[in-house]
Amino acid sequence: MTGVPLIDTDVATHLLKTVRAAQIMGAEVIITGFSADAARTLTQLGVDLSSVSTSGALKQGVAQALATLGYRVSRVSGE
């Protein structure tokens, strides 16, 4: 969601349809990059994302996805 300048009812509807289609195909969805304004707008619009994992940043979302698959995420020393 990073870079989405405006979230309105149409964008929220499209987002939910995309998430639902992915879930029907068996995917587990993690949406990343919600800004505070986007989260506030979605809440005000009454968008229910309770069936979707969300993360504020892509890095956290990727770590969450890898953990879901059973991988352990750790730092490599020296970086």
Q: Where are the domains of the chain?
A: 9-68
Residue 33 CA to residue 41 CA, distance in Å, equals 14
Per residue in 50-59, pLDDT tens?
Answer: 888 998 889 8
Per residue in 15-43, pLDDT tens?
Answer: 899 999 999 999 999 999 888 888 888 89
Specify the pLDDT at position 48. Answer: 87
Q: Does the pLDDT value for residue 79 go beyond 70?
A: no
Specify the pLDDT at position 49. Answer: 87
Prediction pTM value: 0.76
Q: 34 Cβ partners below 8 Å, 6+ apart?
A: 1, 42, 54, 56
